[in-house]
Structure 1
Amino acid sequence: MSVELDMTGRKVVVAGGASGIGRATVTLLRAAGARTCILDLAPEDAGGAQDERIAMDIADESSVQSALGRAAQVMGGLDGLVNTAGIFDPSTISDTDLSLWNRMIAVNLTGTYLLARHAIPLLRKQQSGSIVLLASGVALVPPGPGSAAYVASKGGVLSLGRSLAREAAPKIRVNCVCPGMVDTPMTRTVLHDNNKVRPEIVANYALQRAATAEEIAQAILWLTSSASSYVTGIAMPVDGGRTFH
């Protein structure tokens, strides 16, 4: 492990850290020496005994504010925030009723705003801080028909991240990771058919496969670490060559 990726002494909150990309991120952060705190609806399902775990509803402001405050208190401060919490639905716009639309925006976009709003004052108390938001490759190039509410919510995350990068500077860096298709429990029903990866989906990717959660977590780790100390406001595609940004 390089010196730049040594996270010893860093205190990082991972929202959505109980599964998928979030859980892989927690594993890598801890391996690099960071202290982590998982915020999730079901935090008891995640990590080992060394992880702090706090229940949080990302769509509820009081829950977000309380969870972040408690995390900072338990860890003795906050150096980093990673938000991997989110929901997905492949519905076309005609099949997206208002309740689905509102839920997608509430969790994916409003939840991101709530985390940033209440984390930034905590991060400003440190000498430096990093926020990494999980947008999506679909925020760069929509995948085709369907997923209208999801695409809209992730496009909002991308724009919010860019705005926050300017507002939070110079002490806090804000970046977005834009994954392509990742093989996680959230995407499995779309990616797989009879336990086999659907070839028409991976055909859109130059690398001809979906990513693992660990491959996305590697990008998150780099953006959280001092190795990316002069990087802020970017949208980093980790999409196996679907968008070629």
Structure 2
Amino acid sequence: MSAGQGKLAGRRILITGAASGIGRAAAELFAQEGASLALLDQDEAGLVDLKGTAVPVDVSDEASVEVAIREAANALGGIDGLVNVAGIFPVAELAETTLDLWNRTLAVNLTGPFLVTRAVLPHLMKADEPTIVNLGSASAIVPYPELSAYGASKGGIAVLSKVWAAELAPKVRVNVVCPGMTRTRMVSDWHPDPDALAGRAKQLYALQRIAEPIEVANAILFLTSSDSSFVTGTTLVVDGGRTFH
């Protein structure tokens, strides 16, 4: 694809959690679609081979977020779109969920997008057709056992996205993508046996498999591009049929 072409040509997009998994797939896809990118992650080394401005950040730390957003906006000359992907995936039964684990999960998965979005908002308000896409989870719709903290954080993201969509309309479009199990390091750590994972997917998913990161990234691209120009406040479930199967 030639320079200046693509669904995101001329757009300046900030992606958190860009070093791995779905965030990385989105970063690679968005670069192919012509976007100028600021790529944020705690794992700065994981960003070095991606196309864009790498910015280290702890999304749960207000001061770190403010510095990172300022650096990203300066590098890009503004921000037209935000994709909040950064998150953690702790698995623990309720009785084993410590307060530290609970607080850390909400700090990264819920407070993090809040801090990043609040810091990016002044830049979005100056942009043409700005967008925000938050990464939720199908577990916020059909909850899994042993995911008290994670499920609560992603349920919060789903509601928060609708609040922001209502509050920031008509200027900013805000949507949330809720993926099912996706072939990422987080999921492989949860289910290290690939045969057991495949068997679980066959049982739970209408499509009888888990998602590839690019399949979720394509949904994020749709909600960031003008293809979804009349879509805001929606929850796009990308879960292979898990929520109805």
TM-score of the alignment, normalized to the shorter chain, above 0.5: yes
Deviation readout 1:6-32 (Å, 9 max, x if unpaired):
211100000000110000000110111
Unaligned residue ranges in structure 2 (runs of 5+): none
Q: Amino acid of the residue matched to residue 25 of structure 1? A: A
Per the alignment, residue 209 of structure 2 pairs with: 209
Residues 1:26 and 2:40 aligned together? no
Relative to the length of structure 2, the TM-score reads: 0.94
Partner of residue 185, structure 1: 185
User: C-alpha offsets along residues 49-96 of structure 1, whole Å, 9 cap, x if unaligned?
Assistant: 641100000000111111111111100110000011000012111110
Instruction: Say if 2:173 and 2:233, in contact at 8 Å, map to a contact too.
Output: yes
Q: Deviations over 1:166-205 (max 9, x none)?
A: 1111111000000000010111122331x43421344110
Secondary structure in structure 1 of the residue aligned to 2:25: helix
**Contact 2:6 / 2:34 at 8 angstroms: preserved in 1?**
no
TM superposition score normalised by structure 1: 0.94
Q: Which residue of 1 aligns with 2:70?
A: 69
Distance in 2 (alpha carbons) for counterparts of 1:80 and 1:101: 30
Quote how far apart the aligned CAs of 1:44 are: 2.6
Matching of residues 63-212 of structure 1 within 5 Å: 63-143=64-144, 145-193=145-193, 195-198=194-197, 199-212=199-212
Is residue 229 of structure 2 the alignment partner of residue 236 of structure 1? no
| RMSD of aligned residue pairs (Cα, Å) | 1.8
Q: Is this contact kept in 2: 1:44–1:53, CA < 8 A?
A: no
In 2 relative to 1, CA 47–34 (structure 1 residues): closer, same or farther, beyond 3 Å? farther
Specify the code of the residue in structure 2 equivalent to 1:24.
Answer: A
Q: Shift of the alpha carbon at 1:5?
A: 5.7
User: Counterpart of 2:12?
Assistant: 11
CA distance in 1, matches of 2:140, 2:211: 17
**Secondary structure at 1:182 match in 2:** coil
Change (3 A) 1:49 1:24: closer
Tell me the secondary structure at the aligned position of residue 69 of structure 2.
Answer: helix
Whole-angstrom distance in 2 between the partners of 1:49 and 1:99: 33
Q: 1:182-239: CA deviations, max 9, x gaps? A: 010111122331x434213441100111101110000001100011010000110000
CA distance in 1 between partners of 2:120 and 2:82 (Å): 7
- Judge which range, 93-102 or 37-46, deviates more: 37-46
For the residue of structure 1 that corresponds to 2:173, the secondary structure is strand
* 4+ aligned runs moved over 6 Å, structure 1: none
Conserved? CA contact 2:28–2:50, under 8 Å: no
Tell me whether 53-62 or 42-51 shows the greater mean CA deviation.
Answer: 42-51
Distance 1:110 1:126, change over 3 A: same
2:46 and 2:137 map into 1 onto residues whose CA distance is 25
Asked whether the equivalents of residues 69 and 120 of structure 2 are also in contact (C-alpha less than 8 Å), the reply is yes
Structure 2 distance, partners of 1:201, 1:29, is 28
Q: 1:176 to 1:5 in 2, by over 3 A?
A: farther
C-alpha distance in structure 1 between counterparts of 2:70 and 2:202, whole Å: 41
Q: Equivalent residue of 2:91, what SS?
A: coil
Task: Give the secondary-structure state (helix, strand or coil) at the position aligned to 1:120.
Answer: helix
Q: Paired residue for 1:51?
A: 52
Q: Which moved more, 1:113-122 or 1:174-183?
A: 113-122
How many angstroms does 1:48 deviate by? 3.1
